[in-house]
Structure 1
Amino acid sequence: MLTSDDLAFFTMLASSASLAESARKLNVTPPAVTQRLRALEARVGVRLIDRSGRQLSLTDEGALVASHGMVVAEAIEALAEALADRKSAVSGHLRIAAPHGFGRLHVAPVVEAFARLHRGVTVTLDLSDHPGSPLIESCDVIIHIGPPGPMNQIVTTLAPNRRILCASPGYLDEAPPVRSPRDLTQHRCLVVRENDEDVTLWRFSHPSCDPATVRIHPAMSSNDGAVVREWALAGQGIAIRSEWNIATDLADGRLRRVLPDWEAPSADVVAMLGARHGRSARTTAFLAMLRQSLTPPPWGQAPWGQGDGPASAELS
C-alpha cells in the first residue's frame, strides 16, 4: 500500500533527470534514493523506473503512479490553503512569473519585501521573455504587459502603461520630419517580435482625427525589448516602447516622443490568475502589496509625464 510520503517521493523522482539530481533535491545520498525506490517497487510488485538508459525513464506503471502522485499533492496543497484561508494565514508556496525587464525592476523588490513580511511563505519568481496563459496552471500569479489572455482567466489590472512612439534626438535631427503616421513608412523602424503578433502593422488613435494604421518595414527587429530600446538610444531608428521602460529616457532627453498627439494602443500591467490560485490568502496578499507599489505608477512621475516638452512638440 502506498502512503502520501511514497507518492511525494516518487513524484520528486519522476521530475528529476537522474537519481543523483533527485538525491540533491531530497538532500540525501544517491544510494539512499536507490534503496527507497527498490523498497517501493517491491511493495507494489512492479518496476516503476527503467534504469537501462543514462536518464530516468518511467515505465507505464511508473507514469501511472506519478500522475496520481501529482493529483494527491495538489489535493493536499489545496486543503492546506483552505485551512490557512479559514484563519487568514498567509502560508504555502507562491509561484510568480513576470517579464524579464519589468520583473527585475518592479516585481523582484516586492517579492523580497513580501518574503520578509511573511516568513511562512516560500516564493519562486520565474522571469520569462513572454510570460502568458500557458503558465497559468503552474503559477499562482502571472504578471503580463499587454492584452490579457482567454476570458476564462481571472485578470486584474495593476497599473496603466502607455506605449510610446520614440527615437533619439540624434536620429530625429538628421531624419526627415515626422508630421503624421504615414511618414513612418519613410523611416527606419525598430520592432520587438512577440509570439505571432503582426508587429509591422502600427496602429494609432487621435482625439480629433480618424484612427491611422501604417504598415512599416522594420530596419531592425529583436525578440528582446531591452535590445530594441538600446537600438533606439543609439540612434538606429523609431520604436514603440512601453512607458514604464523609457520614461526616464524621455525625462532625461535621451529619447524624444514622436507624434505626441497620436497614441499607440496601451499595454496595461495586469495579473493573470488561475481560478484555483486566485482564492489563496498568499496570492491576495502579494497582489495587494504589488498594486500598492505601482500606485501611482513610478513611470508616471517623470517630468515629461506632466506634458511633453518642446523637443517632442516640434514633431507634431
Structure 2
Amino acid sequence: MIDNLLELTVFARIVSAGSLSGAARELDLSLAVVSKRLSALETRLGVRLLQRTTRRQSLTEEGEAFHARCVRILAEVQEAEAAVSRSRDAVAGVLRVTAPRAFGRRRIAPLTVAFRLEHPGLSVHLTLTDALVDIVDEGVDLAIRFGSLADSSMIARSLAPNFRVLCAAPSYLARRGLPAEPVALASHDCIVFGEQPTREWHFQHAGEPVSVRVSPAFITNDGEAAHTLALAGGGIVQKSIWDVGDDLGSGRLVRVLPDYAIPAAPLQAVYANAQHLAPKVRRFVDFCAERLKDEWRWGT
C-alpha cells in the first residue's frame, strides 16, 4: 500500500513538473527511480498513462482520468495527515484522570474545572479512589498518586513533596498531654488510615531515623474520616499539610512533635508513555504542577 501511494505521488509529480527529470528533481529522487515507479504503476494498471517522446510527454485518455482521481486521493491523504497533526496538538477529547478521594475532591476536581475553562473542547472523566489503579488496564490517561512509584514501566513526574505532620485537637491534648518524643506515642490514642494502614510511624530527627509502633485507637480506610476523628479529639494523626494547614492556622489542630520530620510521600503524576504523551495529558500535568506548587509550603 505504501508503494502504491509513492507511485501515485510520482505520477502526479511527473504530470505537474512536465517531465520525468523535473519530477525527479522536485522529489529528490533519481531519474531511474522515477521511471521505475511509473513503469510499475502502468504495469499494475495494465494501461499506458503517458505518451512520451524525446521532446514532450502527454497524458493518454486513461492517464487523464486516472490523474484526476490521483490528485483527489493525494489531497485527501494530505488532509488526513493534517487532521491527525492538528488533533495531536489540540487539547481536546476525553481526559481520564484518577486521584485519591479526599485530595481529588478538594484539589484535583477544582483544577479540572479551571483547566477546562481554558480548553472547552475537553471532557474530563475523574475517578476518585484510594486504591492503586492499573492505568493501562483501566484506560486511564493519568493517575495522581502519593508515594513512590512501584511499577517501573510507568512514568512519574513529581508535582509536590507532600510534607506531613503529626497533629491533634486541643481538646485531646488538654486531656492527654503533649508527647515529648516519639516513643511516648505508644501510650497515646493514635489514628491510622489508608487502604493498608500501618502501625509503624517513621520520623527523622537530627539526621537519624526514628520509628515507633503505635496502638491505634481508630483505624479507617478514609483520610477525611481520620481528619474528622482528629478534629473531634479522637487522638493524634499523621496528615498532609494540604489537608490540615487551615486547621493548624486556626488552632483547630495543634502540631505534635514538630522537631521530628515525617518522611514525605511525594505527590506524583503517573502515566504510561512519555514519548507519545497526548497534549491534553502533558498540559494538564503542567497545569497541576504550577497550581499545586504552593500547597505544601505552610509550616515547612
**Alpha-carbon shift at residue 183 of structure 1 (Å):** 0.4
In structure 1, give the amino acid aligned to 2:227.
Answer: R
SS at match of 1:156: strand
In structure 2, give the amino acid aligned to 1:134.
Answer: D
SS at match of 1:279: coil
Q: CA contact under 8 A between 1:165 and 1:239: conserved in structure 2?
A: yes
Unaligned runs of 5+ in 1: 1-78, 307-316
| Of 211, 217, 220, the match for 2:218 | 220
**Alpha-carbon shift at residue 193 of structure 1 (Å):** 3.3
Q: 2 CA distance for matches of 1:116 and 1:211?
A: 45
Structure (1 or 2) with the larger CA radius of gyration: 2
Q: CA contact under 8 A between 1:277 and 1:283: conserved in structure 2?
A: no
Q: 1 CA distance for matches of 2:86 and 2:267?
A: 27
Taking structure 2 as the reference length, the TM-score comes to: 0.67
- Residue 134 (structure 2) pairs with residue 134 (structure 1): yes
**Alpha-carbon shift at residue 111 of structure 1 (Å):** 1.0
* CA pair 275-87 structure 1, distance change in 2 beyond 3 A: closer
The 10-residue stretch of structure 1 (146-155 or 133-142) with the greater mean CA deviation from structure 2: 133-142
**Alpha-carbon shift at residue 224 of structure 1 (Å):** 0.4
SS at match of 1:139: coil
RMSD over aligned Cα atoms: 2.3
Correspondences of 1:55-204 after superposition (within 5 Å): 83-84=84-85, 88-130=89-131, 132-137=132-137, 138-195=139-196, 199-204=198-203
2:35 counterpart residue number: none
Taking structure 1 as the reference length, the TM-score comes to: 0.64
Q: Which runs of 4+ in 1 moved over 3 A?
A: 84-87
Q: Percent identity?
A: 36
* CA pair 94-173 structure 1, distance change in 2 beyond 3 A: same
Q: CA contact under 8 A between 2:135 and 2:272: conserved in structure 1?
A: no
- Residue 255 (structure 2) pairs with residue 257 (structure 1): yes
SS at match of 1:95: strand
Note the alpha carbon deviations across 1:220-256, whole angstroms, 9 max, x for none. 1100010111111111111111111101110110111
- Residue 295 (structure 2) pairs with residue 294 (structure 1): no
SS at match of 1:96: strand
**Alpha-carbon shift at residue 110 of structure 1 (Å):** 1.6
* CA pair 149-278 structure 1, distance change in 2 beyond 3 A: farther
* CA pair 85-160 structure 1, distance change in 2 beyond 3 A: farther
Q: 2 CA distance for matches of 1:136 and 1:157?
A: 20
* CA pair 87-264 structure 1, distance change in 2 beyond 3 A: closer
Q: 2 CA distance for matches of 1:149 and 1:100?
A: 20
Q: 1 CA distance for matches of 2:155 and 2:86?
A: 19
Q: 2 CA distance for matches of 1:178 and 1:278?
A: 51
Q: 2 CA distance for matches of 1:115 and 1:92?
A: 11
Q: CA contact under 8 A between 1:84 and 1:281: conserved in structure 2?
A: no
Note the alpha carbon deviations across 1:134-153, whole angstroms, 9 max, x for none. 23442111011222231221
Q: 2 CA distance for matches of 1:277 and 1:125?
A: 24
* CA pair 114-173 structure 1, distance change in 2 beyond 3 A: same
How many pairs does the alignment contain? 219
Q: 1 CA distance for matches of 2:267 and 2:107?
A: 11
Q: CA contact under 8 A between 1:228 and 1:239: conserved in structure 2?
A: yes
Q: CA contact under 8 A between 1:161 and 1:242: conserved in structure 2?
A: yes
Q: CA contact under 8 A between 2:101 and 2:128: conserved in structure 1?
A: yes
1:282 counterpart residue number: 280
**Alpha-carbon shift at residue 186 of structure 1 (Å):** 0.7
SS at match of 2:192: strand
Q: 1 CA distance for matches of 2:276 and 2:180?
A: 46
1:237 counterpart residue number: 235
Q: 1 CA distance for matches of 2:283 and 2:98?
A: 16
**Alpha-carbon shift at residue 118 of structure 1 (Å):** 1.6
